[in-house]
Structure 1
Amino acid sequence: VPDSSSNACEVCRCLNGNLVCRARTCPVVSTTAFHITTGRGGCCPTCDGCQFGSSTYDDGAIFASHDNTCLTCVCSKGTVSCVNKPCAEVACSNPSIGSCDCPVCSGCSYNGDTLYEDGQFFNPPDNPCRRCSCYEGNVLCRDTRCPVPDCAKPETPSGECCPKCTEAIHKCCGSCENCFYLNQTWSNGHRFQPNACQDCVCINGNIQCVTKACRPLSCPLNQQGTCCPICDRCYLDVENRNVASGFSWRVSECQSCRCDLGSIVCSTQQCPMLDCPHGMLTYKQPVTPGECCPHCIPRPASCVAFGDPHYQTFDGRMIHFQGTCRYLLTADCSRAAFRVEVENRNIGGDARVSWTDRVHMTVAHHRITVDGFYNVMLNGTQVPHLPLLIKPYIFIDKSANTLLINTHLGVRLSWNALQHHLQVEVPSSFKKKLCGLCGNFNNLPQDDLRLRNSRIARSDIQFGNNWKVLGREMQSCPDATPYNPCDGISYRKRKRANNACKVINSDLFAQCHQVVSPAMYFSACVHDVCACGGNEDYCLCDVLETYAAQCRRAGVVVRWRSSTLCALNCPSELGYVFDECGSPCKRTCANTNLPPSVIEEQCYMPCVSGCQCPAGMVEYDGRCINSMDCPDT
């Protein structure tokens, strides 16, 4: 049977037919209990509340320990149990240990053992290269950057962070100017290399060394005895290939390059200063193939026909000849490579004076004729519009008031029909090969009056008549006779002509006097003004423009025109402006998209005077327009 008893303090059970009873064992009551009771029907005493120290607490009460504020106690059925108080969470990463062994953010701990005060700096024992500080429970650290030691084998002393040079022994010698290093004495200021990677110098008893910095390479190749890796080849982007170190090549006539241990080193040839003798000039472009530096060549020659008319020969002699026929101006009399003829006609009603009215040129089996209205005939057919290019022989174009003809021979012609001004330029290759009114181009003006039979004429008239072009249409053209227009006019008119032409000798042209003598042009000016009669201003301006053109050719630009002297009015309503030295490379809608170098290949005059389109504008249909407004072609 189960345990049973009528007495609550006994426990009975049936054992082999006998009822065996024993007294119930009661648990020990805590001495901290302040109220012990058996309870109704109970046998064993129970606790109701606790006594802790001098205080009593109800069952289930939680309270702090009186003798240890870090403990929290609880009363449970007369028994008091105490545990450590829980610590509050902190926001710092390296807190220190405060009261009750709880972390606090005033001060820091490092690696769990060492405590540091707030604001304290320290080097961790396990890492001398790290510098740390404590701030409100947080440890902030940064690593020390060590300087590069100036020696090949630096060592780091125990307990220190940075490596140091230990093999250098510096001794003060005498006045402390010399240095003792690597068992050797070095004088003050002496530079040396203790190894392949260092450059050292002795300064007042101290050795200062700098270690070479090696640049990064895309093709490193270590070589014994060198400090830094090297390259044994160079890559050429243009040719997409590698070349060995030491290989050299030419980039242009003036520049060459070589491969030097992975680096491309280029050098430009330095040209010496040239001082060309008289009659020679510095030849720069086009450069002879394969050559870089300029050299001296014979100066190109220029012959000018102007006024009524006057001819300045290739060798600089001035000839006055007023014939009214067709004449050989100049030609290649050795190989007949080219020929230039001029037609003169009377000025007004005076049959004794004339000016150039038409120009004929023969070159490369082509016949070119230009007249006083800039009409161009090619092989008997009128050219409808310019520019005209016959590759590679002839280029013809008009810029301002000047018509330009350029040939493959280097023979160049410019024609200002309004002022009857013609200029022919020939290269030095035609020296001593020419004949005609422009002379023989041998740098001797004394023999420029040479006739067809190689004799020297006695006068300009005899010389000019001798070079009349023979032909059926010229048979009826009479020879010119000697005539000076100033002889047949009054003293007042002669004086007026002299006064008008004095402007050539004035300060207005002073900057040009040193390069182009004004004497011959003054004489020609007086001659023409005397012949012009009532049109003196026209003849005066013709000669002044001729002299100004020669100045421009010599590199001196004289801005001589004014509102009272030979004013040239350009049609501003069409967009034109006057330019004393405008570009001969006229920009038009036809060539506006071409590179300037392509246009300039055919331009040879330094500049021309006349009506030009302003910068940024191009010529189209007789007016200046913005290049963006050119019609599509």
Structure 2
Amino acid sequence: MCCQSSGEWKSSAQSSSGEPPQKSSKTTRPKRHGQNGNRIQVLVPILTLILVALLQIQTVAAGAGNSLHGYLESCSNEGEEVQLAKRNQDFKCFNCICQNGFVRCSNNCPPIDDCYMVDRSNGSCCPRCKGCMFRGIPYESGAEWTDPEDPCRTYKCVATVVTETIQKCYSQCDDDQLQPPRPGECCPTCQGCTINGQTVAKGQEVVPFIDDRCLVCQCGDNQLTCSKKTCPILLCPKSKQKQHPDECCPRCTEKREIFTVPGKCFFNKQMYYEKTQFMPDRCTNCTCLNGTSVCQRATCPILECAPEFQEEDGCCPRCAVAEVRSECSLEGVTYRNNETWNMGPCRSCRCNGGTIRCSERRCPAVKCRANEVLKLPPGECCHRCVEAAGTCTVFGDPHFRTFDGKFFSFQGSCKYLLAADCRDNTFHIRLTNEGRGTRHASWAKTITLKLHNLRVNLGQRLRVKVNGTRVILPYVGLAGGQNVTIERLTEGGGVVMLRSEMGLQLEWDGAGFLQVTVPAHYKKRLCGLCGNFNGSARDDLTSKDGRSHSDDEVWHFANSWKVGGPKSCSRQRENIAALPTCDKRMSNFYCHPLSVSHLFGECNERLNPQNYIAACRMDVCECPSGSCHCDSFAAYAHECKRLGVILPDWRTATKCPIGFRRNATTLSSYLNNEYYGDSSFTRLKGRGRKQQRQQHRLHRQQLQQLQEQELRRKQERRRRPKGGQHNQVVDKEFTQKHPSLVLHPRAPDRTPPPLH
């Protein structure tokens, strides 16, 4: 992540040129002497001080101040923490990890989104909300405490304002279950954490009446305590406050950086002197004490009636006279008085004198880590973070993305162990690659899954066999007592989706694309080409003997997972160092659509396309079908969709057909397409072929002459006495003289280097 710190600001009191306002050198004084004149002389510097203080008050937009900005930087160690440069101390307030090929940074500072007075005077990169001074003791903003002599009297500090209130208690249990307040607490407790027939777990909070979200019940030690407090007084004006329907109190919608004058209070765009009393509204009394506004506001009573039976009575509502009935009716169902029922995992209701009152659990704010997803488990009320499932992808000439996010390429043409449960042997998946008549490239041909007593073979053109017999989809079977379904999905143009009740999933397009998904409980249990699924991509190239390999040793790693013997290979001999000759301009032409951001729904801001571009450039070098670049497009689009990106119709735009329906295509199919790259290399193709034919003709003539010379040498050797040394010398001279006809150059490993 290349970042800069932008923490500069300019005072609103400065002129447009950036210079501070100049004070006048002349001061007008009244020509009066004596005591009155001295009073006026004292008032002038005081008024000047107030003017300067008002000029020093500055507001800035939310989000200004110290922040990081820059560009997205690539990374290769998926899921690992990235250390930022230490040249800037502001970086310590940010955590950065490698996520989807990009360095992603998040602010680890405490949230101050609703703070109206931001304080940056502490010199830290993390701004904080300005606290309070109460009776000589400093308090952080958000702190809440009670009076040692009166536990029902509570105080809360929010941005230099202390709100003092008397909390009110509530109990719904019978008198025989009511317990007196515990030492240091204000309200009595009810034995057993149950409200409206719903059980409240330890540490959970419940709103007894969804119409009054300021009344909150908490469960602790199997005892339920319910109390209501008034909302804290906010520093911002009413026009800058917002009330969320699921919250008790309003919040300030903006942040402000304000330079205050010591000993004075700033409240709602006004400055107050020490010990000055003021009323922000007719229900609140405040006093400025040591730069803190101490305000008192009464807590409104807890009302049993519904909002439609309430009316205003001064600062708080009250229940109007209403008819009391012995039953309630909801959606055609009648409930008796005090009867309770559930409205879901979060809400339960009670009939109270003809009025339905419902309680609701409060869910805490949750922030998931990079390897977690936010989910709502069945039957539960609140979302929680759970470990994300692992996915391994195989595509193209084959390129692999492991469960932990490691990218590598391997062109072996044999049968390999792709993924397996190496601890309990619950499943294993084998991948068979085929050379398709090429010298170096290969593609995924078939996938074989062994799951308990079930053996599933996924073949070309979406053919499926179960235990050796071809089946018609959809198919439902049992493996180890668990259901296994195989169906053909019309979404995405037709793919085979295998799902097992244990959480294992296989998605196959019948032409080389495969994605394996395993649940999180398989972590640290897997092995094979897809890695060990331990959360770290660094050790994914671990061979069968447990030895870890570097990126330059992919062939050694992959061949260690070979299964099936020599007969399972489509090529007799693998040239692991060979790299097909490829025109760079041609690969840039075919792979350019991956660089067009809007073509894939701006996914390049979520997922780094560089690995897919490198895979595409490799595939087009030796392509038997003419549309091998589409494999990388499909793999990138599939991962974008998994990340939640809405994709446009990229296949129509790029003329990339679906999976096994892809027939042999020619270059002309993609010419004159706005999404592909520069096609000027095609104009040189004819002349290049002519020159190449001339070179081949000359080469054949030279070869024929050399063969004739060699034939003459052999005839001469037959006439000479037999001697092995002479023949060896002739062969050696021939080899040294014509190395291009005998030796084959070795090219570097075909595996693309990792991103750094």
By percentage of residues, which structure has more helix? 2
Rg: which structure is higher?
1
By percentage of residues, which structure has more strand? 1
TM-score w.r.t. structure 1 length? 0.49
